[in-house]
Chains A and B, each alone.
Chain A
Amino acid sequence: MSTAVGLHCPGCRAKIGVADRFCEECGRELTIVRAVLPSREVDPTAACDACGARDFDVDGYCVACGELLRPPDRDEADLGAVQLITDRGLVHAHNEDAVAAAVLDDAEGPAIVIAVCDGVSTSEDPQLAAEAGVRGGVDACVAALAADRPAPEAVMAGLEAAFDAVRGTSQGAGHAPSCTYVAAVVRPCGAQEFEITVASVGDSRAYWLCPDEARGMPPSRRLTLDDSWAQALISHGAMDEAAAMQDPRAHALVRWMGADSEHRAADTVVDTVQVRGPGVLLLCSDGLWNYLSDAAGLAALATAAPAQQAARDLVEYALRGGGSDNITVALAPVGI
C-alpha cells in the first residue's frame, strides 16, 4: 500500500505546507478547515438571562450582574468531510466533553484528523482538560502529517502533545483537570481504499461502521479498547462483557490524561486498519455508547442518513435514552 507522506496539492501534486494558502506551483487555493467544540465565542447578540444586559466580559460573565452567559446546550460544526456535535445531555449542568477536527487538502483526497476528549467529572475543572487535550492533539497531529511523518507517528505526536497540554492545565497541587482521549487520522491510500489510524486513552471510543449491504470492508466493528476496569477484567478472561458492564466499578478508568496520572503517551496502542467504503468512522464519548454500544446497532443509525443528519440522530438516540452524560459525536463518511 502506498500512502503519500506529507501533503500534496490536489491540482498538480506538488508538495505543500500545512500553512500554505496557495500552491506555489499551480496557484490553486488550498484549504484546511478546523473546528474545536464547544466554541468559546460569546454570541454578540446574546442577552443576559438574569438582567437583560447585552455586555459580557472576556470570560463570559455579564458586566452588570455577573451571571455567566449560559453556553448553548448543543454545538455543531460541519467541516464537509467530518461532522462534529457535542451536547450537554439532560442531567449534567455543564458540558465537559470537547471535540476538535481538521480537514487537510491533499492530492489523494482530504486527510482528516479528529480528537474527542471527555473530562473526568471527579477532577477539578474537567472542561479545561478536555479542551486542552483536543486542541493539543489535533494541532500536533496535523503538524506531524505536514512534516511528512506517517500517520501512526502523527497520531503518537498528537498523543504526546495532548498529554502535555492536559498536564499543563494544572494550576498547582490538588488541581489536576483530567480527561479521556480518542483520536483518529483518515487518509486515502489509493483505489478506493483508506487507512484509519486510531489511539485511545480512557473510555471514549472509535468505531468503523458499514451499512447492512456489506459492500464496505471490514464489517462494522469497534476500533479501540477501553482503558476501564470492565475491559481489564474482560481482557484477562475474568468476566464476560455483560457481567463486567453490570458492576458499579465498570466505568472506572485505568488510564487517563491529567497532572495526577502517571500514564504515558508511549504506552498507548496505536492501531491501523485498511478499510474500503462505503462506511463511516465514528468517534464518540461514553455519553453515546452507554446507550448504544454494539457496532451493528450504531451502524444502523450512522449510515441511514447523510452525515449531518446521522450525527444528529445518534445524539438524539442518547438524549431519548436519558441523556445522563455529555454526548459527543464525530462522524466522517469514508468512501461514499
Chain B
Amino acid sequence: MSSQEVEGISVAIDQNQYLAEGADTVDAVVTVQVGDDFSVAAPAQERLEIIIIDCSGSMAAGDRWSGAREATIAALAEMADGTLFALVKGTHEGEVIYPAQGPLQRKDVLSVLEARQALDRLRPYGGTAMGSWLGVARQVAAQYPQAMAHAILLTDGKNEHEEPAHLDEEIRKSEGAFTCDCRGVGGGDMVKELRTIASGLHGGYDVVKHGSGLVTDFQAMMQVSMGRAIPDLTLRVWTPAGAAVQFVKQVAPNIEDLTARRVEAGAQVGEYPLGAWGAEERDYHVQVRVDPAAPGREKLAARISVVSGDEVIGQGLVKALWTTDTELSARISRRVAHFTGQAELAQAVQDGLAARKEGDLDTATAKLQRAVELAVESGNEGTAKLLRNVVEVDDHTGTVRLRRNVDTFDEMALDARSTKTARVRKES
C-alpha cells in the first residue's frame, strides 16, 4: 500500500504479504520518493558549507595537492551566492584557514577571492588526525545551528595521529550538526575511515586515483548539496506489541545499515534519522518478526511513516496474511529478493577482499566468485566491472581466479563502491 497524502512525496511498500502457517518473518522494501514539487515547496534553508582539506605531507605527492586546490576552487564556484562557508586545513589537528578569524562570511566575489588567497598560502606538511578536523567543523557549524550544514572531507591516507576511539567519539558528537561526504585520493589504504565517517554523518564516500579526478567530483557533491532542500527526514516505524524490527537497511542507491540508529519514540515506535534530502528516491529493506496469527487472519506487521519536523508526510502499511496456500506464501517480492541479493553481494565483496588481505586465498576466491555471480544476476554492472580488476573471470565456466597483481587503488575502489546497488531490472 502506498500513500500520497502530501503532494510531491510518495511512500510505496513492496512485499509478499502472504506467510505460511506459523511463519513469523515479514520483509518489505519501502521506497521513499521526494519529487521536485515537494523540494521546491520546502521552506528556504540557510546553508553552510565546509571544505576540509588534508594538508599532511603525503598530499604533496603527484598531483594530489594541485588537484585538491583546483577541486576546492571548483566547489566554491558551485556554491550559491549567500551560502555561509569555511575552509579547514587538516593535519594532526584541524584549523580554519578561511575565515582565519571572525564570523563566517557568505559567498560573494570578495569572500571567494579571500578564500582563494588563504588556499594559495597553504602547503602540505604535517600528520593526519581526522577526528580533530571533525571537531573544528563542528565548531564552525555551531555558529549557525539552524542552518543545513554540509562538509566535504578530502584525505589521502591513514589516520596515523589519532586513536580510532577518538575518531569514533568525534563522529558521534558531530552527528546531527553537519552531514559529511568523504573522498580519498591516491592509492592509500583509507576506505575504512572514509566509510566510518560517511556512515556516521549521513554522507557518501568514494576514492579517486589522481588529483585531476577531484574537480568534477567536488562539483557534483556541491551540486547535490545545493539541491537538498529538506534538512531532516525521519523514518518512523510502528510495530504491534510482541513484534520486533530485525533490521532497517537503506538498499538504494547504496547500502547503509540504519538498524543501530533507532531512537525509541514511545511504546512500539522507533525512529530512524534519514539525513538531508533533495528531490530523490531511496529504498529501504525492513524486516520485522511478528507473532504468527492463525491462517486466514491478517495483521499489520509495521506502519511506516516518513516524518519531516512534526508532520507525517507519507505512510505505508506492511501487512502479514497467514495462509495455507503454499503457492501464495512461497512467492518472494522481486524487489525484496533483489535487494537481499545486493546486500549479499556487498558482503561477499567485503569478505573476499578481507580474506585476500589476510592471505586466505581459498576463501577469497570463493567469496569473490559468489560476488561475480550475484553481480551478473542482478545487473549490477558497476560492481561487476570493478570485480574484474581484482579477479579474472573465465567467460565459459564462470570460475574466477584472483589476479596476482592487483593495483591497490582498484582494490580500494571495489571496496568503497561495493555498497552501490543496482535497482531492480525492469522485466521485458
Contact = CB atoms under 8 A, between A and B. Distances in A.
Interface of A: 49-51, 57, 59, 61-62, 64-68, 70, 93, 171-172
Contacts of B293: 50, 67
Contact of A68 (B12, B243, B300, B303): B300
A61 B300 contact: yes
Interface in B26-61: none
B290 A66 contact: yes
Interface string B191-230: 0000000000000000000000000000000000000000
B299 A66 contact: yes
Contacts of A50: 293, 297
B12 A171 contact: yes
A171 B242 CA distance: 31
Given A66-B290, A171-B12, A61 B299 contact: yes
A93 B248 CA distance: 31
A61 B299 CA distance: 7
Given A50-B297, A66-B299, A67-B300, 14 more contacts: A50-B293, A51-B241, A61-B300, A65-B240, A65-B299, A66-B240, A66-B241, A66-B243, A66-B290, A67-B240, A67-B293, A68-B299, A93-B296, A171-B1
B298 interface: yes
Contacts of B2: 171-172
A59 B317 contact: yes
B88 interface: no
Q: Which 5 A-B pairs have the closest CB atoms?
A: A66-B240, A61-B300, A68-B298, A66-B300, A66-B299
Interface in B272-300: 290-291, 293, 296-300
Interface of B: 1-2, 12, 239-243, 290-291, 293, 296-301, 303, 317, 323
Contact of A67 (B298, B303, B323): B298
Nearest to B319: A68
A65 B241 contact: yes
A226 B305 CA distance: 44
Contacts of A57: 300, 303
A326 to B, nearest CB: 15
A70 B298 CA distance: 9
A128 to B, nearest CB: 9
Contacts of A65: 240-242, 291, 299
A221 B204 CA distance: 71
Given A50-B293, A171-B1, A171-B12, A64 B300 contact: no
27 contacts: A49-B297, A50-B293, A51-B241, A57-B300, A59-B300, A61-B240, A61-B300, A61-B303, A62-B240, A64-B241, A65-B240, A66-B240, A66-B241, A66-B290, A66-B299, A66-B301, A67-B293, A67-B298, A67-B299, A68-B297, A68-B299, A68-B300, A93-B296, A93-B323, A171-B12, A172-B2, A172-B12
A64 B290 CA distance: 12
A93 B324 CA distance: 12
Interface centre among B291, B298, B303 (most CB of A within 10 A): B298
A68 to B, nearest CB: 4
Contacts of A66: 239-241, 243, 290, 299-301
A59 B298 CA distance: 12
Contacts of B12: 171-172
Contacts of A68: 297-300
Nearest to A171: B2
Main secondary structure of the interface of A (DSSP, over half): loop
A61 B290 CA distance: 14
A64 B243 CA distance: 10
Contacts of A49: 297
Nearest to B296: A93
Nearest to A172: B12
Contacts of A93: 296, 323
Contacts of B239: 66
A259 to B, nearest CB: 14
A272 to B, nearest CB: 40
A155 to B, nearest CB: 31
B214 to A, nearest CB: 39
Nearest to B325: A93
Nearest to B426: A173
A101 B282 CA distance: 43
A172 B240 CA distance: 28
Contacts of B300: 57, 59, 61, 66-68
A204 to B, nearest CB: 26
Nearest to A65: B240
Contacts of A70: 297
A64 B241 CA distance: 6
A9 B355 CA distance: 87
A50 B301 CA distance: 15
A67 B243 contact: no
A79 to B, nearest CB: 31
Contacts of A172: 2, 12
Contacts of A59: 300, 317
Nearest to B288: A66
A333 to B, nearest CB: 37
A65 B1 CA distance: 20
A138 to B, nearest CB: 24
A232 B211 CA distance: 72
Nearest to A66: B240
Nearest to A53: B241
A64 B240 CA distance: 6
Contacts of B296: 93
Contacts of B317: 59
B409 to A, nearest CB: 40
Contacts of B243: 66
A65 B301 CA distance: 9
Nearest to B13: A171
A98 B242 CA distance: 35
A256 B82 CA distance: 58
A164 B252 CA distance: 33
A191 B354 CA distance: 92
A82 to B, nearest CB: 32
Interface centre among A50, A57, A65 (most CB of B within 10 A): A65
A89 to B, nearest CB: 14
A65 B296 CA distance: 16
A323 to B, nearest CB: 15
A172 B241 CA distance: 32
A65 B241 CA distance: 5
A51 B240 CA distance: 11
A171 B14 CA distance: 11
A68 B317 CA distance: 12
A208 to B, nearest CB: 38
A320 B209 CA distance: 77
B4 to A, nearest CB: 9
